[in-house]
Structure 1
Amino acid sequence: MSMPSIPGYLEPHRGGTLADLWTEPENIPSGLWPAKHLRKASPYPAEWLTIEEHFFTEAEHGGTGCVLVPSHQTSESIEGTTWIGRDLGDVAVWNTERFDNGLTLESENLTTEFFAQARRPSGSTSPVIELSHTFLWYWDAFPVKSGWSYLNRAGREQELVRWKQTDDSWKVEVRALELRSFLADSKRSAIIQFDYVTKIEHEPFERVDDSFRNEWAHLDFHCLHDRGMMSDRPAFSRLVGQYIISGLKTSRLPRWEERQQDRDYPTFIYGVDTESGKPLTHTCDPDNLGTYFDKDGTRLHYLTPVYFKREVLQPYAAEPARYSLSSNRLSCLNLWGISISFNSIGLVEAYLGDLGRDLPSDEWGHWRSYNVPPEGKMDEGRFRRDFLGQWASSKDVIGDLRRARAQASKVSSELLGSPLWKPLDGDIAAEFQSLIGPLTEDPAALGASLLVLTKAMIDAINNSPLKSSLDSYDKGDQSLRLLQRYVQQIGGEPDTTAILFNLQGFRSRGGIAHLAGSQKAKAAADLGIEGLSNIDAFESVVTRITSCLSDVTDLLNRELHKKSGGESDGKSIDPPSSD
């Protein structure tokens, strides 16, 4: 009968632990044989590994420690069962002028190195967890709550170390595969050291002693009854010793080694067979794609466009602090980036070779799930740049808005002493910089994009220069009304800023920031997006805000020109509009 493997409930017994290899001695009272600790000891751990532990309860006390030794000294490190490297993690200055830095201890035939500890410095109310900096640097790790993590090549956060602690107990665990890869590259072995005491109530019995030793472990065990030592639980056992974990290059590798890893390149749909109607697929392995230097045209070209639904960008748009999105590029921090564009019907397009070269292997599965056959026309600007070698721009409505906002802020700073729109910071800065518009037809997708616009274009209006420049205003005027008054004061029309009022109205009545009410349809109509698809509605709003900013900038330039007496002051400000 076949049984499924259910983590935490039904798991196959993998064998090879000390519990499998060390037979329980006879005549031991039930509860004193430390089987649960022996099951944790294996030379080939693959999940979480305890490297530092301390606790004390009525039924049990003890803990675990870990030090490193050079790989060629592993046999010497387990000659005995007494813990080695006990003085690591402490600095000592001797009368002989010897200085022990706490990182390395040398003896006649053994070198031990610090790896982890929980230290109690004077003045601290709780233990301080400390780990080998070399190990953390190897993984380019960063601290998180109760542990350390790192980013893989795809930019995905990976847990590396985790711990739980109280004022008088702690448990520190490390991901075993990451530890073994580190050990392999550093040519070190980890020595995991046990010392556990189990206590029970039991009638007197004869003392039992036993030991276990093989090429990777050496431990002692004894149990006895001694009411004078432990009156409440006079029967107790002790397990003490150590075992070796050797280095091995596992599937978990630092980013710089991931790049060199052999990989199985997936295939992507790039066309349709007209006879069978079935999709045509091809590997994205750059080495198996054609170039302009091929002798013939038998290989599919590196620059073959591949198409994806817009939804493929959703997980990246959801994390603007980590991923940067624009009309022509997707990138993750300083880790990776790939050129993209949007074709005539809104599909995301990327070159087949770039998918293999620039997209991390962890991302391939996600992109394949949104891969569709070609439809529509390639972005003209991209075609002219990439295939005709011409200087050409692509449609970029949100980029135009960002540039218009920056220009309006620059000119208003010159004229008023501070910008009409405050610089963005924190989360909203990242959201506005990576804003790409709605990626699905879900109403919530449009609402989220318009909310970012509202925060960047309305909430960020700077009231101070407006109030100091207005001839008059009412005490209750809010930022939008102040901006409208100022625009009219310098020659603008009452409806110059109408798009901003309509956007604010949609936020209030359209269900963006509050529950949608009966006036949602009217709010959409006022904003001019009723009946439009999400992307068309978004681009319509963005284009009109950009036009509003351009008009305001022209008015500001005109005022600046008047202020300078109609003469150039040498500053790089746009000339007044010819309208």
Structure 2
Amino acid sequence: MNKDNRIPSILRGFTGKEELRKILSFLAFEDWITEEETKSSDWIVAARSWKEGTNNFFTFSALASATKDNLERLLSKANWDVQLEFGKPFFYVCDGEKKAHYDPGLEAEIGGIKFRPFVIYREFHGFISNTFELVQNFILYHEAFFVTEKNEYQRIDDDGNIRPIVRIKQENNNRLVLIDAHHLKDYLAANQCYLVRYHDHWRRVKEDISEHIKGKFASYSLGDESSCFELWLRTDIPMNGYQSSSSILGKDVIFPYSEPDKCHTWFATGKREKKFAKFIISRDEQGNDVEFTCNEEELSNHYVDRGTPSFFTPVYFNREVLIKYYQEPSRYKVSNSGIGCLDLWHLPIDITEEELVHVWLGYLGRIPYREQLHWRQFNVSPRGTITRHRFFRDFMVDLAEPTDDPVYYFQVAFEKIQLEAKARYGEELFLDLDEKDRHAYQTLHLPLTEEWKEFDELVQVLAKITVDSLNVRLLSHESGQKIDKRSIKGSIDLLEVYLRKIGVKDNTRLQIIQPLRTVQTIRSTGAAHRKGSNFDKELQHFGLVKLSNSAKVKKLIIDLTDALSLMLEAISQKETSEDEI
């Protein structure tokens, strides 16, 4: 088929009233045809059963071997090549035989064309709604997984980005299956197939169009290089006040890429197409930034001097570069020494005394290009030097502790007291966070900005990890007391009773309890509620008012760490004294 003949002659030569043309256009599916679903570059309808008003749309898809001859055969007639049951396993008998044969429904040759299922249409006798299912082979090809909350299939690409590839929309009995165009055409290329979409759509109007179709029925053949349809306009089946109706039956074809996405086949050549960003590594004599690529094949190293900057050239970034990674702990893991994306890539980092993120130039070339561009936004001219522990860690093979990271020491102290309490009482002092809250502990960090929003979030995180998680049952059992809302109003009061019971002196007890009360009070007067004069008074009371937000959080974390260490010492001493007795 060499020409576009998708609009019926009744419309191409129409010269009547505009209102009538709109009616005929509606019945001729002109709006749907000119939408050109097959040419969509984002989402393609693979299946639908959708009734809305006087529209009734039905689409079903199958795979057909991609050859020029097959395309001509497919588009030679509007009739469906496969039945709606195509793809389901079944038994059958041959003429004259009394033996049943089994067909798994994996493929069929029809009219000289080999077909394979892509969409399976399932019916359940009205017990539950009919549905469409995609063949598992497509899901496996893209290593996709189903996300119930979004009703879509997603995949993780080689860079760690999560991509939706199938979207399923359902409203009552209506159902629509959309496939991402890129992932569909990639799959078609790998399988050397067309996707043939079969359509059976219906429409009705109240107006009588007999005069315009010169009778009660008219048929039109429509199509172009990728489609073939039969359009019927009729008035011989009036129904419920609707005098005229139409239907369009036929098929269109989605073409594959010329070859599959190279992400599947790069290993065959040993080369991957990769781009590299440039980063600021120094300033010249005029104070201008000097940039160089992070492509390690162009960098010098301990073994090869290419006359270029070293792989271990320091590059610096504002700490805001980390916000993206803290916001999605299910995908990224951030520590004081690196950032990891699942098991796909890892970037060693450090925080300098200038509060900049330090990365070696060569390591930046090992993360995806899109990540490089993210880091490039926060790249700054060198300022200060690398830390002592980074030098020992990377060049002296010494696992030196990050001496200036309060979060690191907080988590060390927290985990030590949990182990000690478990060994002493058989239970941890702080209850485990629920899976939906575990991110609070994993993403605890010093503020990356001076925004109150971030301050509030981190204060609530500290409260959730400590005050809210105190093991009240354990403390009640060991102290012999319970929260009574009078003398013991909450978990911190109960902790204080417990500490008194195990012999912790007043001064030490105050050093333990005060940081917890500070976090609880700051959370209650500001982070979890409207800020006002009470919040300002509490900042003043706890000696935080003149500090930056970053310094405020840092002090809270350091004080909590000291409190945890004192509690650890108290519990350990109690255990020692009991052992001596």
TM-score, normalising length from structure 2?
A: 0.86
Deviates more, 1:228-237 or 1:449-458: 228-237
In structure 1, the partner of 2:18 is none
TM alignment of 1:11-26, pairs within 5 A: 22-26=6-10
TM alignment of 1:147-162, pairs within 5 A: 147-162=152-167
Instruction: State whether structure 2 residue 315 is matched by structure 1 residue 306.
Output: yes
In structure 2, the partner of 1:268 is 279
SS in structure 2 of the partner of residue 390 of structure 1? coil
Please, which of 560, 563, 566 is the counterpart of residue 545 of structure 1? 560
Please, which of 235, 248, 264 is the counterpart of residue 226 of structure 1? 235
Aligned equivalents of 1:191, 1:560: Cα separation in 2 = 75
Kindly state the Cα deviation for residue 372 of structure 1 after the two structures are TM-superposed: 0.8
Work out whether residues 8 and 222 of structure 2, in 8 Å CA contact, stay in contact via their aligned partners in 1. no
Aligned equivalents of 1:559, 1:89: Cα separation in 2 = 71
Aligned equivalents of 1:420, 1:336: Cα separation in 2 = 35
Kindly state the Cα deviation for residue 284 of structure 1 after the two structures are TM-superposed: 1.7
TM alignment of 1:230-249, pairs within 5 A: 232-248=241-257
Kindly state the Cα deviation for residue 444 of structure 1 after the two structures are TM-superposed: 2.4
The Cα offsets for residues 224-250 of structure 1, whole Å up to 9 and x where unpaired, read as: x33345574443333222122221169
In structure 1, the partner of 2:141 is 138
In structure 2, the partner of 1:202 is 208
Kindly state the Cα deviation for residue 309 of structure 1 after the two structures are TM-superposed: 0.8
Deviates more, 1:481-490 or 1:166-175: 166-175
Closer/same/farther in 2, CA of residues 546 and 518 from structure 1, 3 Å limit? same
Instruction: State whether structure 2 residue 50 is matched by structure 1 residue 39.
Output: no
Please, which of 186, 189, 192 is the counterpart of residue 197 of structure 2? 192
Please, which of 507, 523, 537 is the counterpart of residue 538 of structure 2? 523
Aligned equivalents of 2:377, 2:541: Cα separation in 1 = 38
The Cα offsets for residues 427-485 of structure 1, whole Å up to 9 and x where unpaired, read as: 32112112122110112222211211111011010011111111556623211111112
In structure 2, the partner of 1:289 is 299
Aligned equivalents of 2:240, 2:537: Cα separation in 1 = 81
SS in structure 2 of the partner of residue 150 of structure 1? strand
The Cα offsets for residues 535-555 of structure 1, whole Å up to 9 and x where unpaired, read as: 333222212211211111122
SS in structure 1 of the partner of residue 438 of structure 2? helix
Kindly state the Cα deviation for residue 167 of structure 1 after the two structures are TM-superposed: 3.5
Aligned equivalents of 1:347, 1:183: Cα separation in 2 = 47
Instruction: State whether structure 2 residue 498 is matched by structure 1 residue 486.
Output: yes
In structure 2, the partner of 1:504 is 520
Kindly state the Cα deviation for residue 326 of structure 1 after the two structures are TM-superposed: 1.1
Aligned equivalents of 2:2, 2:344: Cα separation in 1 = 39
In structure 2, the partner of 1:387 is 395
Structure 2 stretches of 5 or more lacking a match? 15-20, 94-98
Closer/same/farther in 2, CA of residues 84 and 504 from structure 1, 3 Å limit? same
Aligned equivalents of 1:431, 1:58: Cα separation in 2 = 49
In structure 1, the partner of 2:450 is 441
In structure 2, the partner of 1:90 is 88
Kindly state the Cα deviation for residue 215 of structure 1 after the two structures are TM-superposed: 5.0
Letter in 2 for 1:269: I
Work out whether residues 454 and 503 of structure 1, in 8 Å CA contact, stay in contact via their aligned partners in 2. yes
Aligned equivalents of 2:418, 2:123: Cα separation in 1 = 53
Closer/same/farther in 2, CA of residues 524 and 103 from structure 1, 3 Å limit? farther
SS in structure 1 of the partner of residue 447 of structure 2? coil
Please, which of 39, 43, 46 is the counterpart of residue 48 of structure 1? 43
Please, which of 104, 109, 114 is the counterpart of residue 117 of structure 2? 114
TM alignment of 1:4-15, pairs within 5 A: none
SS in structure 2 of the partner of residue 39 of structure 1? helix
Kindly state the Cα deviation for residue 368 of structure 1 after the two structures are TM-superposed: 1.5
Closer/same/farther in 2, CA of residues 146 and 253 from structure 1, 3 Å limit? farther
Structure 1 stretches of 5 or more lacking a match? 1-15, 567-579
Kindly state the Cα deviation for residue 24 of structure 1 after the two structures are TM-superposed: 3.3
Work out whether residues 272 and 278 of structure 1, in 8 Å CA contact, stay in contact via their aligned partners in 2. yes
Closer/same/farther in 2, CA of residues 231 and 411 from structure 1, 3 Å limit? closer
SS in structure 1 of the partner of residue 470 of structure 2? coil
Letter in 2 for 1:340: I
Letter in 2 for 1:90: K
Closer/same/farther in 2, CA of residues 468 and 159 from structure 1, 3 Å limit? same
SS in structure 2 of the partner of residue 441 of structure 1? coil
Closer/same/farther in 2, CA of residues 463 and 260 from structure 1, 3 Å limit? farther
Kindly state the Cα deviation for residue 119 of structure 1 after the two structures are TM-superposed: 2.7
Aligned equivalents of 2:579, 2:533: Cα separation in 1 = 51
Closer/same/farther in 2, CA of residues 252 and 127 from structure 1, 3 Å limit? farther
Work out whether residues 152 and 158 of structure 1, in 8 Å CA contact, stay in contact via their aligned partners in 2. yes
Work out whether residues 131 and 175 of structure 2, in 8 Å CA contact, stay in contact via their aligned partners in 1. no
Count of residue pairs the alignment pairs up = 545
Letter in 1 for 2:221: S
Aligned equivalents of 1:203, 1:188: Cα separation in 2 = 41
Work out whether residues 153 and 164 of structure 2, in 8 Å CA contact, stay in contact via their aligned partners in 1. yes
SS in structure 2 of the partner of residue 316 of structure 1? helix
**Alignment RMSD (CA, Å):** 2.9
Aligned equivalents of 2:436, 2:366: Cα separation in 1 = 31
The Cα offsets for residues 275-334 of structure 1, whole Å up to 9 and x where unpaired, read as: 22111111122222222111x351111221211111111122122233211111112223
Aligned equivalents of 1:461, 1:17: Cα separation in 2 = 76
Work out whether residues 232 and 248 of structure 2, in 8 Å CA contact, stay in contact via their aligned partners in 1. yes
Work out whether residues 87 and 116 of structure 2, in 8 Å CA contact, stay in contact via their aligned partners in 1. no
TM-score, normalising length from structure 1?
A: 0.86
Work out whether residues 42 and 182 of structure 2, in 8 Å CA contact, stay in contact via their aligned partners in 1. yes
Aligned equivalents of 1:249, 1:515: Cα separation in 2 = 60
Letter in 2 for 1:304: T
Work out whether residues 121 and 133 of structure 2, in 8 Å CA contact, stay in contact via their aligned partners in 1. yes
Letter in 1 for 2:378: Y
Deviates more, 1:301-310 or 1:104-113: 104-113
Kindly state the Cα deviation for residue 79 of structure 1 after the two structures are TM-superposed: 4.2
Letter in 1 for 2:575: L
Q: Percent identity?
A: 24
Kindly state the Cα deviation for residue 517 of structure 1 after the two structures are TM-superposed: 2.4
The Cα offsets for residues 79-111 of structure 1, whole Å up to 9 and x where unpaired, read as: 432223322243322354322334433447233
Aligned equivalents of 2:74, 2:577: Cα separation in 1 = 84
Letter in 2 for 1:63: F
